[in-house]
Structure formats: C-alpha cells, structure tokens
Amino acid sequence: MVLLPLPADVHERLNLISHELFHRAQPYLHFNTWSYTNYQLDKKEGRIYLRLELKALKAALDAPSAKESLKHITDAFIFRKYRNKLFPGTDTTENTLELNEGMAEYTGLMLSDRPEARMKIHLTGKIDDFQRSNSFVRSFPYVTIPAYGYLLSRKDKYWNKKINNQTNLASFFINEFGIQIPDNLENGVEKIKDLYNGKEIEQQESEREEKNKHLIAGYENRFLKQPHLIIPLEKMNYSFDPQTVITLGNEGIYYPTIQLTDNWGILKAENGSLISKDFSRINLTSPTDTTGNVIVGDGWILELKKGYAINKHPGDNNYYLEKNGN
C-alpha cells in the first residue's frame, strides 16, 4: 500500500515504491513485520543522544576521507551505546524497528536510481529534516539504517545479504566497520558531544520537554478523563505519519491523524486519537450521533459493519463500540 499522490520526483517515487515492495517480500524473507514503539525516543535524554548520533552520521557522510568518516561513525555509535545504556533494553526495541523499516528504507534508497552525487545530498537532507521532527519513536530507522548502510556499501556493496531476522544491526555495523567502543561511555560522550552542537541540542530538547508536558496533559484530559469513545482493536491495519506521533507513557500513543481498519469497519480520524500501549483499544472523543452505521465525532468518522453498534453503560459517561447484543 502506498499513499497517493506519489512523489513527483522520479527518485523519490522509486524509493517509496521499492520500500513498500520490500515490506511485501518481508514474510518470504523470514523477517518479522512487527516491531516495538520506542518510547525512550520521546524522552529528553533519548532524543538528545539520537540527535547527536545523527549529527555524527551526517559528518561521516560529508567527511573528505574514509579515515575521517570512520571517526564520525565511531562517535555515532558511542552516542547510540550511551543512549541504550541510559534506557536498558532499548538496543533490542530499536533493532526490531530498524530491521523492519530501516532495511525497507535502505532497499528503497539503493533502488531509487539516484546518481552517486545525489546520494549524499539526499541522506544529509533527510537527517536535517529529521532533526526538526516532532516525534522520533517510529521514524528514526528511515534515516539511521540508510545512512549506515550507504556508508558500509562503499566497503561491501552487498552487506545487506548477510542480514537475517536475528541480526542486531548496530552490532553488525560496529563489527563490519571495525569500530572500538570505549568501556567508559560517559567519558567518551563528554569528550565528543561539543563537536556536534551538544549544548544547543540539550537546550532545544529541554524547551521541548517543558512544552510537551502541557500538550500531554491536554491529550490525557481529552481522551481519558473527559467522556470518550472506546473501540477495541482485534485485527487492525492502520496508516499514519510516523513523524507526528507522541507517546503518553503508560497511557499509550497519541496519533494526530490515522486511518484504521478492523473487524468492525473503518475509522478515519483527523483531529487526534489515543491507542493504548498494548494496542488493545483506541480512544476517540465522544460521538455526536450514535445512530446508524456511520458514526461521527470531532474530526473523525467511523463506518461500522453490520453487527456492531455504539453503546453506553448505566452509570458510565463513556461510549463503547460493541457487537450487537453485548
């Protein structure tokens, strides 16, 4: 599935279609298509050290020599390893998403038919654009793996054929580049972060964190505390913009826009929704009309299949999507 309209630029168009075709092939290549949401990348420290990693990656792409490029690649992995140390277990959760979306985007990049001179321009531009993204939790593999992969392709054109569902991509790249990571990661980070605008990034992320506290409080009030509609998720497929989602910790993930299909029908929401952390339900604002099979609310429309209805329970201000008779 691809979102229309297709990009006007032929290379962007090939990139996108090849990315989605890779997803089509993933089951036959024995890759899992399920991956974790990386909540740590909505926290200040997580965002800081991802941005520093990407600053180092951009420097590696722009470096005038292979030796200098390797130095920046090493710094990028020092930032990554330190981030994973701050948030234990995230080396695994980040890897699942990079195997899924990162490998797909690398495939799209290499099949995009971009001239060599445009490859670096494309990758560094993507890194610059990403730095301004509101959310990193689902979108970071679109820049990390293409950049690392392109840099490694100079040494080994077909490195991707060595990857399988069990590969830890960060460990793989560290080994293939012959990188040595210092034992004392904290000291290593302190020595290099000012080379990549560390103080500026820290200031920006402190300001963002303060601003997001008010946003999150508003979303929690709207979708959890005020009367709302609760829809169970059974066998869903959904599309969304991965650069706009915001995590609400244990409460779930806020999606500004989303289109979702499930056993009960089709949902289109353009003014916010909240999916629980375990992906068992989605919350919307209260409906304005619950009769018929087309239900509407503030910025959303729900087309129900036969056998489903919106109900209220005695003593409960919330609404529930249920099978008729429940």
Residues 61-69 have a mean pLDDT of: 97
Among the ranges given (112-116, 193-197, 289-293), the one the predictor scored with the smallest mean pLDDT:
289-293
pLDDT of residue 263: 95
Break the chain down into helix, strand, coil percent, rounded to 5: 50, 15, 30
Q: What integer pLDDT is reported at residue 203 of this predicted model?
A: 97
Q: Please compute the mean of the pLDDT values over residues 124-140 and round it to a whole number.
A: 91
Which of 252, 218, 220, 214 has its CA nearest to residue 233? Answer: 252
Look at residue 219 and tell me whether its pLDDT is greater than 80: yes
pLDDT in tens, 252-279: 999 999 999 999 999 999 999 999 989 9
pLDDT for residue 325: 63
Task: Return the half-sphere exposure (C-beta side, CA atoms, 13 A cut-off) of residue 248.
Answer: 22
As a whole number of angstroms, the distance between CA 256 and CA 82 comes to 31
Query: 283, 228 in Cβ contact below 8 A?
Result: yes
Confidence of residue 324 (pLDDT cuts 50, 70, 90): confident
**The pLDDT value given to residue 326:** 58
Question: Rounded to 5 degrees, what are φ and ψ at 285?
Answer: -65, 160
pLDDT above 70: residue 193? yes
Q: Give the integer Cα–Cα distance in Å for 54 and 58.
A: 6
What was the pLDDT predicted at 242?
80
Helix (H) or strand (E) holding 145: helix 141-153
Q: pLDDT tens for residues 274-309?
A: 999 899 999 999 999 888 899 999 999 999 999 999
Q: What percent of the chain lies above the pLDDT cut of 70? A: 99
pLDDT at 257: 94
Q: What's the mean per-residue pLDDT of the chain?
A: 94
pLDDT tens sequence across 73-108: 999 999 999 999 999 999 999 999 999 999 999 999
Q: What is the mean pLDDT of residues 9-36?
A: 91
What is the pLDDT, as a whole number, of residue 73? 98
On the question of pLDDT at 186 being above 90, the answer is yes
Report which DSSP code applies to 223.
I
Give residue 244's pLDDT band: very low, low, confident or very high (50, 70, 90): confident
Task: Give CA–CA dist 256/244, Å, rounded.
Answer: 7
Mean predicted confidence (pLDDT) in 217-245: 92
* Contacts of 99 by beta carbon, 8 Å cutoff, 6+ apart: 31, 32, 35, 163, 165, 167, 169
Distance CA(230)–CA(276), nearest Å, equals: 10
Q: Is the pLDDT of residue 148 over 90?
A: yes
5 preceded by a cis bond (ω within 30 of 0): yes
